[in-house]
A and B are shown apart, each in its own frame.
Chain A
Amino acid sequence: MNSSVNIKNLSLDFGAVNVLKSLDLDIRDGEFLVLLGSSGCGKSTLLNCIAGLLEPTEGQIFIKGRNVTWEEPKDRGIGMVFQSYALYPQMTVEKNLSFGLRIAKMPQAEIDKRVARAAEILQIQPLLKRKPSELSGGQRQRVAIGRALVRDVDVFLFDEPLSNLDAKLRAELRVELKRLHQSLKNTMIYVTHDQIEALTLADRIAIMKNGLIQQLDNPDTIYNTPKNLFVAGFIGSPSMNFLRGKLVANEGALAVETHGVRFGLGGYRAGREMNPGQEVVLGVRPEHIRVNEDVRAGDEVHEAVVDIEEPMGADNLLWLKHAGHTLSVRVNGARRFKPGTKVKLAFDMGLASLFDAASEERI
């Protein structure tokens, strides 16, 4: 597949702070790429560099094979949608949409055509004569997307576009964005700190921390086989259970020993060599722990006590006390447990993750 946006060795310093550290990123044509990370990880900075709103200290940016490192934002073939919508308050929706085209001195007939088309795609025709102050949050964000749409750009850049909306609207617009991407098939780069948005929208997710990309993969891979401890802890809510321990030989196989309890690693597919005595962190997602009647024959069974139960409708989240650990376990919402009751549990080792404690890399 052709690459749409190509970032080579990109660095950006704000004074003495390295916000981006020789970052490489290759975004495919038509891809929906999400830059995910907590605040201060450099994801918005990277997006602003791609947009041309920030000058990189080093490195190059290519869009559609063209080196745009020194180009003005308008010449890059990008459109951008901002968190605060950034609609021009004194202009009507129509004027907002057409501002860029008018600046570019496009013929009025062509402007009208493009505005009409964008308004139709986003279903904002009845709003064209209104001012931004007369619109709801969701409508404003649609207009903001429309502003990128009319300019007929190659790449859409989204900077946390849904963060200012309430939960219900956010879910609605998320679906609309996905639909928009499916019909337009443009390259979209989307910055967010919301992992649900990332998992639901992305073709690929780039998880960022301290100006570096930690892992770049499709959502499934990121969720199921996180490359390091940071990615494992960042994705998933509630977070993955981490058990710090040591590798020991156990009946001819390896096991993780922690707080005097051994978890056999039978079924775990290691990508690297494992040595007894190695300090490790065992990671298990809450839905990969089987409780009571879910425990299968042949499972290694442990005992735990229910500490707290958090019913969440479809799911029921249990917090179990087990030999010095607190484990979160997701079970079907219909199954209820009284605090204090003893339960049997087993780990699904085939879906677990194991990390080296020192390097924090996946084993």
Chain B
Amino acid sequence: MADVLNSTAMIAIEDAPAGRKPRRAVSRRNVVVYGLLLLAAFYYILPLYVMIVTSLKGMPEIRLGNIFSPPVEITFEPWVKAWAQACTGLNCDGLSRGFWNSVLITVPSVLVSIVVASVNGYALANWRFKGSDAFFTILIVGAFIPYQVMLYPMVIILRTIGIYGTLTGLIVVHTVFGMPILTLLFRNYFTSLPEELFKAARVDGAGFWGIYFHIMLPMAIPIMVVAMILQVTGIWNDFLFGVVFTKPDYYPMTVQLNNIVNSVQGVKEYNVNMAATILTGAVPLAVYFLSGRYFVRGIAAGAVKG
């Protein structure tokens, strides 16, 4: 009897759970989670699918009305037209002009605003001067004032300086309006670096620019990338400033896209419109895809601390 008891006890111990707990691949939880994820993904991918499919069809096929069906005859004609031939007003050179305008606007705006904002943020984080807190508060308040409020004053300022309606004017506007959020981004980043690093550099004899270039800048690469992403996507997608502060010759891609899509004369060429829209969105899309990881980090960093 005792033996029997003992052996069953032994078996019980050996059979008892050990090691990793088994999990079923198909559980109710998994079905719900993955089901919802797939549904959401499908919902978001659908418009893109329709756009791509439509842009590859000819007009007769589009008129049939089956917007979800894949193209019977694939044609790249709409893409060529969107890029090089679509008309806005008197110009019939397509989106290409807008693309190059956008490049000319975005590149200097991004570079200038990041250079200035990183120095701002560094000064605010490490060199507390008299009134630096007040300065910072004003800057932050600036981030929360709606752009529309400042449109008209800005127009007057640019006109007075004599750069209203030029690319330079728009670049200045983008740089100025990007300043609050970028400075905040850099200030928070530099504040999060150990203060002792800064002190050590001072003891070692480095000054304002020495510390900036030798110590801070090499450590700021991640936040530089984040700032770059924020600025490139933000400025490329901008429509309002583009319309307000430039003339048709200098319209950025977004404005030109609107003018192509919303032109009233003639038939609506859906395939061309779709191609034009994808072309315009290609740059931010590429940025997102290439740097999604940093972009998420940027949003987290922007979730204001201190």
Contact = CB atoms under 8 A, between A and B. Distances in A.
B203 interface: yes
Contact of B202 (A73, A88, A89): A73
Interface string A42-67: 00000010011100000000000000
A53 B204 CA distance: 12
Interface of B is mostly: helix
B208 to A, nearest CB: 12
B203 A84 contact: no
A90 interface: yes
Contact of B196 (A78, A86, A103): A86
Given A86-B194, A89-B219, A90-B218, A103 B205 contact: yes
Nearest to B221: A90
Interface string A72-87: 1110001110111111
Contacts of B299: none
Contact of A82 (B196, B210, B214): B196
B143 interface: no
B247 interface: no
A103 B194 contact: no
A110 B204 CA distance: 16
A246 interface: no
B200 A80 contact: yes
A74 B203 contact: yes
B50 interface: no
Given A83-B196, A84-B196, A86-B196, A100 B219 contact: no
A151 B203 CA distance: 10
Nearest to A51: B203
B203 A80 contact: yes
A147 interface: yes
A74 B194 contact: no
Nearest to A144: B200
A129 B107 CA distance: 38
B218 A80 contact: no
B63 to A, nearest CB: 61
A86 B205 contact: no
A84 B196 CA distance: 7
Nearest to B193: A89
B201 interface: yes
Nearest to B194: A84
A167 interface: no
B200 A147 contact: yes
Given A89-B219, A99-B214, A74 B196 contact: no
Contacts, number: 62
Interface in B79-105: none
Contacts of A90: 218-219
A99 B194 CA distance: 18
Given A89-B219, A90-B218, A90-B219, A147 B196 contact: no
Interface string B175-204: 000000000000000000010110111111
B157 interface: no
A104 interface: yes
A52 B203 CA distance: 8
A104 B214 CA distance: 14
Contacts of B199: 48, 51, 53, 80, 82, 86
Given A80-B199, A82-B196, A88 B205 contact: no
Contacts of B10: none
Given A88-B215, A89-B219, A90-B218, A99 B196 contact: no
A53 B202 contact: yes
B219 A78 contact: no
B200 A82 contact: yes
A144 B203 CA distance: 12
A147 B219 contact: no
Nearest to A98: B204
Contact of B200 (A48, A86, A104): A86
Contacts of B196: 82-86, 159
Nearest to A75: B205
Kindly name the residue among B199, B204, B210, B219 whose own CB sees the greatest number of chain A CB atoms within 10 A. Answer: B204
Interface of B: 194, 196-197, 199-206, 210, 214-215, 218-219
13 contacts: A72-B202, A74-B203, A74-B205, A80-B200, A84-B196, A84-B197, A90-B219, A99-B214, A103-B206, A103-B210, A144-B200, A147-B200, A159-B196
Given A80-B203, A99-B201, 10 more contacts: A52-B202, A78-B203, A83-B196, A85-B196, A86-B194, A88-B201, A99-B204, A104-B205, A147-B200, A147-B204
